[in-house]
Structure 1
Amino acid sequence: MTTESISGSLRNGLARCCSVSTLRSRLPVLTWLPAYSLTWLKMDVLAGLTVGLTTIPQALAYAEVAGLPVQYGLYSSFMGGFVYCVFGTSKDITLGPTAIMSLLCFLYIRGDPVYAVVLTLLCGIIQLAMALLRLGFLLDFISYPVIKGFTCAAAVTIGFGQVKNILGVKDVPQQFFLQVYYTFHKLPEARVGDVILGLCCLFFLVMMTMMKSSLDSVEDNPSPVVKVSRGLVWTLATIRNALVVIAATCVAYSAEVTGHNYFTLTGKTAAGLPPFSAPPLSETTTNGTRVSFREITRDLGGGLAVIPLMGMLESIAIAKAFGSKNNYRINANQELFAIGLTNILGSFVSAYPVTGSFGRTAVNSQTGVCTPAGGIVTGVLVLLSLAFLMPLFSFIPKASLAAVIICAVGPMIEFSVPPHIWRVRKLDLLPFSVTFLLSFWEVQYGIVGGVVISGFVLLYLMARPELKVTDHGVLVMKLGSGLHFPAVEHFSDVLRTHALHVSPPRCVLVDCQHVSSIDYTVVNELRDLLKQFKLHRVSLVFSGLKCSVLEVLLAADLPGFRHTDSVEAGLQILNTNPDSD
């Protein structure tokens, strides 16, 4: 290759990398920013404020689920808005702490903020690498029943885990089955104040949720008074979490200043914004022992696989759902890039791993957000709360945060899913059940178990493709799917049973219109079958072969190989000349 051709190739490659289309694919903000308008700004600000009022109480609550001080929920809630605005491809999605991600983090970080930050950094690096290597296709190996089994089990685990905060009891183990036992065992120790406050918060949240869902059933052309009332109810229902936490905090503060300790409070929180600094790669424990980066990564173990994968799965699934709903498409690898970069930068502000939030994304979409710029408003609101409101957060009752979490994960328990799977395809209930049950033991075991069972089901279907045998004077065998090496023994046994192990032997026409590819093992078995058919003085003919499959079979130079374009042509050949060549 000459110097001129090399330099020309380099120039062409550089031109492609710097083209407008490439820049827009890498920086999606360039696609909508030139057309940004004042109308869009108004809607983005409104949506950002609404999502922010939802984010703040949820972030505080989810930090509790992760076993971290509540301020870490807010540390994890603002970076996504700024990063996603530039690199995200969905106008609706919001990145931040979620119930499932918080539960997964709790299993690995052991309530240690340093472990949480290191996990965030490594999670982001892994996700960014997957995006650059375009490995988003790995999500295709996690089936819908596995996802649903995991989310239902996670919702039950998270929801029941907050019952102890509603009751105000302490020293309840985190392992699910022990948690159930000790929660009931400690019922006599329940604090009346926490129980009453928690139940009141739950009642208010459920009522507001029901009122919001009932708005859709009101007439299409309401009067102005009804329209204003609906708008007021929708607004109050949307910010219901913030209202509950504010009201409960006021009650708890009033009790504290009058010297009454009725409620279990969040307690002292770190005030101010988190410092922007490099994430710690080691720590020194209270007894003076130094834990190195290698030891931290070893302790995180399977979390370095489970958390990046589940973060990617949750976020991209939500982005696709709302993209379909609102008529736009998302780029899965670009979404993964945005999540990974958010986690990497989040580790510099003491965040724990984040992903897309379904509930807050729904609020964002319903409020009418026009671009990802709404996330900037949400991020600013979270920063303001960190800067000025942290001292007040120490008076938030844990029972109110527990009520927020229970109501947030409640809709994730979909009782209709198992009956629906049973009606559609009973076999898919197996990976759902395995995932659901194992997730109560260890979440990662549930996911791995479900994927393994799904893989076995898939392999079984590959090894046992549908074979339909009909009699048209000669036998016609129709292959319902592809033919690969796991299925070749089954195919050969059925063929021999119906054609060669009968008296007299029968000619066979194999309909291959659904076969898109074959491998060497199949070709080798076909060679033996053709020999056996010739010894029995009957014919084996193939019809409907695709060009790619035909090329392979012709290249193999199989003795006695015959093929036709259609079943009708094959039947005509066999009925007029049944003997093999």
Structure 2
Amino acid sequence: MQSFLRYLPILDWGRQYDRAALSNDLIAAVIVTIMLIPQSLAYALLAGLPPEAGIYASIAPIILYAIFGTSRALAVGPVAVVSLLTASAVGQVAEQGTAGYAVAALTLAFLSGGFLMLLGVFRLGFLANFLSHPVIAGFITASGILIATSQLKHILGVEAHGHTLPEMLGSILGHLDQVNGITVIIGVLATGFLFWVRKNLKPILLRLGIPPLLADVMTKAGPVAAVVATTVAVWAMGLAGHGVKIVGEVPQSLPPLTMPGFSPDLVSALLMPAILISIIGFVESISVAQTLAAKKRHRIDPDQELIGLGVANLGAAFTGGYPVTGGFARSVVNFDAGAETPAAGAYTAIGLAFAAVFLTPLVHFLPKATLAATIIVAVLSLVDMSILKKTWRYSRADFTAVAATIVLTLVMGVEVGVASGVATSILLHLYKTSRPHVAEVGLVPGTQHFRNILRHKVETDPTLVTLRVDESLYFVNARFLEDLTQSRVTDGCEIRNVVLMFSAVNEVDYSALESLEAINHRLRDMGVGLHLSEVKGPVMDRLKTSHFLDELHGQVFLSQYDAWKTLASRI
């Protein structure tokens, strides 16, 4: 039964659902729905899909995640970065605006959902840890810049294309003679208004004595106000006839039943982008979910989150959507609005379904410039160039990884950026672990503690060298310790004993074992003893299965102080 509950978290929180939770969830759903209506339309535009695809992708996936997900505040649906990745991947296999493009988007959602499901079932969520947070921050920053740049064509009312920053800027500059003045006015006014609402409206409303919850709702309704105002203006003044591009007719219906494409060529072309989208989406989603869960002492199961997001993406694939994940902004809004359970997401889906059936005719004259403004204001909050300054001060290796990810994403596109981020994260990890920190330590006077001889005033002995190994030993770094030991003993002709202090070593693989054996043989030939101290139980158990301890030209000491008392010539 417990195993069954693991795959259906709704059976856990659903049994405790009460009237208070219902009230809080309904309030949160109203606020998030108001926010999602223009946002969903805008993100579909960013993905190169019809606007209704954004709403469709926000209905079935949310309901499915409410059943299978473990986060009580995560709001699942289209997000900016995944929408950009979708446009980049699908644009390589089909032409935007065609039926093949929509089918490719469905297939991408299906492959992403299937991959996430497999990771969840086999409990492989730890694989996302291979993406370092600085690299993720660099990728999201670069993606934010690309997204904002891609929307300038809608603000200016020109035709432009491209998937990299040079391509986009070159295309926009080449079409400046097509700029539509009325579109520019609408886009600039909408962008300025949305920035003002985000930063200034709530404090003003609070000073006027409006309750915080209502002030928050009115602030989140800023994009809705921009949509209503510009739509009415375009309709009343007939601006569509003056070159202002509008959304046009949006189907007035619930999400349709759709079928992804399964042709081998299409699947093979989209498989790698689907994997990259899955990894990026999961990392963003789990980061938000765990942050919000910690505030209420709830538990997030990463492997079940993979299943929840996988099912959500499969739902999008069969209901006219495209890849989805947990969004940062909407999840924070959902949490701040008082959402108690995932049911808040289900109520949001109902609200969006109502909008899809009854409100879509109202957005016929909605200018695309307004949707572009919505995207620009949303994604610029993701841009954090300070990560370069922070990593430069803290770690040059991390700075190199972040800078490379940003530059490659901007210059070569998001897919190359994601792939380079993954590769850079893994290479950075391998580089760091290939050169483990090994400190020569001495005895702190009057104590039984040992510290780095370069950082503290300690007692040493010319015939004894103690090297504290501060990392597990495996094939990547085993040779490093071998070379370091050889170098140290060669330099000190008085040395008679070497102690490897293993207090921080949690693992010794077979390659490292062979290196230890090589060190032992070389030192023995030089008449120098090799000793170990403070070896952890699991490591000792592993060493006992080999012949290393039998051949060791020295002893294994329980503590480093015991080794010092036994081996130091001064004592």
Q: Same fold (TM over 0.5)?
A: yes
Partner-residue secondary structure (3-state), 1:160: helix
Q: Is the deviation greater in 547-556 or in 507-516?
A: 547-556
> How far did 1:404 drift?
0.3
Aligned partner of 1:253 among 229, 232, 235: 235
2:111 match: 122
> How far did 1:544 drift?
1.2
2:485 match: 495
In the alignment, the residues of structure 1 paired with residue 79 and residue 4 of structure 2 have an alpha-carbon distance, to the nearest angstrom, of 31
Give yes or no for contact 2:499–2:532 (8 Å, CA) kept in 1. yes
> How far did 1:150 drift?
0.9
2:535 match: 545
For 2:478, give the aligned amino acid. V
Give yes or no for contact 1:505–1:536 (8 Å, CA) kept in 2. no
Give yes or no for contact 1:500–1:536 (8 Å, CA) kept in 2. no
2:82 match: 101
For 2:224, give the aligned amino acid. A
In the alignment, the residues of structure 1 paired with residue 433 and residue 240 of structure 2 have an alpha-carbon distance, to the nearest angstrom, of 70
Q: Is the deviation greater in 530-539 or in 72-81?
A: 530-539
Aligned partner of 1:373 among 327, 337, 343: 343
1:272 match: 253
In the alignment, the residues of structure 1 paired with residue 208 and residue 12 of structure 2 have an alpha-carbon distance, to the nearest angstrom, of 39
For 2:560, give the aligned amino acid. V
In the alignment, the residues of structure 2 paired with residue 543 and residue 150 of structure 1 have an alpha-carbon distance, to the nearest angstrom, of 44
> How far did 1:519 drift?
2.5
Aligned partner of 1:281 among 258, 261, 280: 261
Aligned partner of 1:514 among 504, 519, 523: 504
Partner-residue secondary structure (3-state), 2:210: helix
Counterpart check, 1:468 vs 2:458: no
Give yes or no for contact 1:515–1:546 (8 Å, CA) kept in 2. yes
1:3 match: none
1:184 match: 173
> How far did 1:102 drift?
0.6
Q: Is the deviation greater in 79-88 or in 139-148?
A: 79-88
In the alignment, the residues of structure 2 paired with residue 24 and residue 123 of structure 1 have an alpha-carbon distance, to the nearest angstrom, of 24
Counterpart check, 1:305 vs 2:275: yes
Question: Alpha carbon RMSD of aligned pairs, Å?
Answer: 2.3
1:40 match: 21
> How far did 1:546 drift?
1.6
- Which residues in structure 2 correspond to 1:148-547 (within 5 Å)? 148-211=137-200, 214=203, 226-228=208-210, 230-256=212-238, 260-261=241-242, 263-277=244-258, 279-281=259-261, 293-440=263-410, 441-470=412-441, 471-473=460-462, 474-547=464-537
In the alignment, the residues of structure 2 paired with residue 76 and residue 197 of structure 1 have an alpha-carbon distance, to the nearest angstrom, of 28
For 1:325, give the aligned amino acid. K
Distance change in 2, residues 1:528/1:346 (3 Å): closer
C-alpha distance after superposition, 1:468-488 (max 9, x if no partner)? 225334222221222223323
Partner-residue secondary structure (3-state), 2:439: strand
Partner-residue secondary structure (3-state), 2:528: coil
> How far did 1:52 drift?
0.8
2:564 match: 571
In the alignment, the residues of structure 2 paired with residue 89 and residue 552 of structure 1 have an alpha-carbon distance, to the nearest angstrom, of 38
- Could you tell me which runs of 5 or more consecutive residues in structure 2 were left unpaired when the two chains were aligned: 442-459
> How far did 1:187 drift?
2.6
Count of paired positions: 540
1:14 match: none
- Could you tell me which runs of 5 or more consecutive residues in structure 1 were left unpaired when the two chains were aligned: 1-18, 219-224, 283-292
Give yes or no for contact 2:112–2:313 (8 Å, CA) kept in 1. yes
Distance change in 2, residues 1:539/1:281 (3 Å): closer
> How far did 1:505 drift?
4.4
For 1:211, give the aligned amino acid. N
In the alignment, the residues of structure 2 paired with residue 529 and residue 127 of structure 1 have an alpha-carbon distance, to the nearest angstrom, of 45
For 1:498, give the aligned amino acid. R
Give yes or no for contact 1:131–1:336 (8 Å, CA) kept in 2. yes
Partner-residue secondary structure (3-state), 1:263: coil
For 2:396, give the aligned amino acid. K
In the alignment, the residues of structure 2 paired with residue 347 and residue 231 of structure 1 have an alpha-carbon distance, to the nearest angstrom, of 36
Give yes or no for contact 2:439–2:469 (8 Å, CA) kept in 1. yes
For 2:261, give the aligned amino acid. L
> How far did 1:85 drift?
2.1
Distance change in 2, residues 1:394/1:515 (3 Å): same
Give yes or no for contact 2:154–2:372 (8 Å, CA) kept in 1. yes
> How far did 1:576 drift?
5.4
Distance change in 2, residues 1:507/1:183 (3 Å): same
Give yes or no for contact 1:255–1:261 (8 Å, CA) kept in 2. no
Q: Is the deviation greater in 141-150 or in 179-188?
A: 179-188
Distance change in 2, residues 1:401/1:514 (3 Å): same
Give yes or no for contact 1:539–1:574 (8 Å, CA) kept in 2. no
| Paired-residue identity, % | 28
In the alignment, the residues of structure 2 paired with residue 138 and residue 495 of structure 1 have an alpha-carbon distance, to the nearest angstrom, of 34
Partner-residue secondary structure (3-state), 2:193: helix
Give yes or no for contact 1:431–1:451 (8 Å, CA) kept in 2. no
C-alpha distance after superposition, 1:64-100 (max 9, x if no partner)? 1111111111111111221122222111111111111
Give yes or no for contact 2:30–2:348 (8 Å, CA) kept in 1. yes
> How far did 1:501 drift?
4.7
Distance change in 2, residues 1:529/1:358 (3 Å): closer
Distance change in 2, residues 1:481/1:244 (3 Å): same
Q: Runs of at least 4 residues of structure 1 off by over 6 A?
A: none
1:31 match: 12
In the alignment, the residues of structure 2 paired with residue 172 and residue 464 of structure 1 have an alpha-carbon distance, to the nearest angstrom, of 45
Partner-residue secondary structure (3-state), 1:482: coil
Give yes or no for contact 1:500–1:533 (8 Å, CA) kept in 2. no
Partner-residue secondary structure (3-state), 1:319: helix
Distance change in 2, residues 1:68/1:499 (3 Å): same
For 2:470, give the aligned amino acid. G
Partner-residue secondary structure (3-state), 1:515: coil
Partner-residue secondary structure (3-state), 1:62: helix
For 1:574, give the aligned amino acid. L
> How far did 1:121 drift?
1.8
C-alpha distance after superposition, 1:98-131 (max 9, x if no partner)? 1111101101222311111122222212211221
For 2:147, give the aligned amino acid. I
In the alignment, the residues of structure 1 paired with residue 261 and residue 530 of structure 2 have an alpha-carbon distance, to the nearest angstrom, of 67
> How far did 1:230 drift?
4.9
Distance change in 2, residues 1:538/1:138 (3 Å): closer
Give yes or no for contact 2:276–2:419 (8 Å, CA) kept in 1. no
> How far did 1:229 drift?
5.9
Give yes or no for contact 2:461–2:570 (8 Å, CA) kept in 1. no
In the alignment, the residues of structure 2 paired with residue 306 and residue 526 of structure 1 have an alpha-carbon distance, to the nearest angstrom, of 39
In the alignment, the residues of structure 1 paired with residue 90 and residue 232 of structure 2 have an alpha-carbon distance, to the nearest angstrom, of 32
C-alpha distance after superposition, 1:520-550 (max 9, x if no partner)? 3333333333333333333222211122333
> How far did 1:375 drift?
1.4
